[in-house]
Amino acid sequence: MLTCDGFEKAIIGYGTHFSSDVIVYSYDECVNILMKRDKMTHEEALEWMEYNVCGAWLGANTPVFLRNKHLGDDNYD
């Protein structure tokens, strides 16, 4: 399973993706880590996550980032 350096505290488990086990991270906790560790604003951390982390495809073992929102929420992106 592939891991993301620096986000160890954001691991919430593992799942199956394309018949491969993958690490599952809390998206929100990753954003918090970026804000604390790298002194980013919330907006900067979100942009970094989307472009540099979630936007990276490393094959079937690419980690998954779980967002803590429900599809029925008005603020769902």
Q: Are 29 and 68 in contact (CB under 8 A)?
A: no
The whole domain housing 48 covers 8-66
Per-residue tens of pLDDT for the chain, all 77 residues: 899 999 999 999 999 977 889 999 999 999 999 999 999 999 999 999 999 999 999 888 899 999 987 656 655 55
Q: Is residue 52 a part of any domain in this protein?
A: yes
Look at residue 68 in the predicted model and tell me its pLDDT. Answer: 82
Q: Is residue 76 a part of any domain in this protein?
A: no
Q: Is residue 15 a part of any domain in this protein?
A: yes
Look at residue 19 in the predicted model and tell me its pLDDT. Answer: 85
Count the domains in the chain.
1
